[in-house]
């Protein structure tokens, strides 16, 4: 009698599992509902067709998650903006020394450097960030580099708005397009998925400084002076 009851209960659970599966329930939900192992559910319903995805339910879940997270994300974004603004206002106006040191670090990170196997003692700076280019131009002003010694040229994909990009960099640098050297076009590969496209893409601006061998040497020397100064500071703090 007891065995018969157990068999009947298992049969009822199996029938209920199949019924729920036909309604589109997942294995986890069915197992919880009928009180059995997930492996048993899988065995009982394996001959049934897989339920079609419930897009409406998924959409509702995404909307609920979005609603729940919106205040959190908004608070994070506000915090992000506040930290950036506080850091920006803390800087204030740079002294000439500060601008010089910032420019040296900027150039040593992004500019062309001399190598023992290839002498390149000439300032050449390439960047796609207008703020970087603007800062570099202000740094050259500090160093009394004449505008006539600054050779500007554009490096950009041929599929982009070349004329628009030239106008953009002319406005950033204050140097007219007519003074730019010939633009270098990169051949477009349609198989390459590029992210640097659209109205925000202006290519890279190349800034070469004529007659800048001694200036380059001064920059290189200043960079190693910065490195040495930082090392001495660490030693002094540890004493």
pLDDT at 179: 94
pLDDT in tens, 45-73: 888 888 776 666 667 778 777 888 888 88
Contacts by residues 118-123 (CB-CB < 8 Å, ≥ 24 positions apart): 121/212, 121/213, 121/216, 121/217, 122/208, 122/209, 122/212, 122/213, 122/216, 123/207, 123/208, 123/209, 123/212, 123/215, 123/216, 123/219
CA 216/CA 77 separation, integer angstroms: 42
Q: 172 or 19, which is more confident?
A: 172
Q: 212 or 193, which is more confident?
A: 212
Q: 212 or 58, which is more confident?
A: 212
Question: Any idea which of 62-66, 79-83, 206-210 has the lowest mean pLDDT?
Answer: 62-66
Q: What is the percent of the chain where pLDDT is above 90?
A: 55
CA 153/CA 167 separation, integer angstroms: 12
pLDDT in tens, 150-201: 999 999 998 889 999 999 999 999 999 999 999 999 887 766 655 666 778 9
pLDDT at 190: 66
Q: How confident is the model at residue 218 (pLDDT cuts 50, 70, 90)?
A: very high
């Amino acid at each position: 009698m007891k065995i018969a009851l157990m068999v009947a209960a298992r049969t009822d659970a199996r029938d209920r599992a199949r019924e729920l599966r036909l309604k589109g329930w997942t294995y986890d939900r069915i197992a919880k509902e009928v009180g059995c192992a997930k492996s048993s559910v899988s065995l009982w319903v394996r001959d049934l067709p897989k339920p079609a995805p419930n897009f409406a339910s998924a959409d509702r879940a995404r909307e609920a998650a979005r609603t729940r997270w919106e205040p959190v994300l908004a608070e994070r974004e506000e915090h992000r903006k506040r930290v950036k603004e506080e850091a920006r206002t803390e800087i204030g106006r740079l002294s000439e020394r500060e601008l010089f040191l910032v420019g040296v670090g900027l150039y040593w990170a992004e500019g062309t450097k001399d190598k023992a196997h290839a002498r390149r003692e000439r300032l050449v700076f390439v960047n796609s960030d207008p703020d970087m280019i603007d800062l570099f131009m202000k740094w050259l002003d500090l160093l009394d580099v004449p505008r006539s010694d600054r050779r500007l040229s554009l490096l950009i994909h041929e599929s982009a708005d070349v004329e628009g990009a030239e106008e953009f960099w002319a406005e950033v640098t204050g140097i007219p397009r007519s003074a730019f050297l010939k633009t270098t076009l990169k051949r477009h590969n349609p198989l390459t998925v590029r992210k640097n496209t659209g109205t925000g893409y202006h290519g890279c601006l190349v800034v070469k400084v004529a007659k800048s061998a001694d200036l380059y040497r001064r920059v290189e020397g200043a960079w190693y002076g910065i490195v040495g100064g930082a090392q001495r500071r660490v030693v002094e703090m540890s004493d």
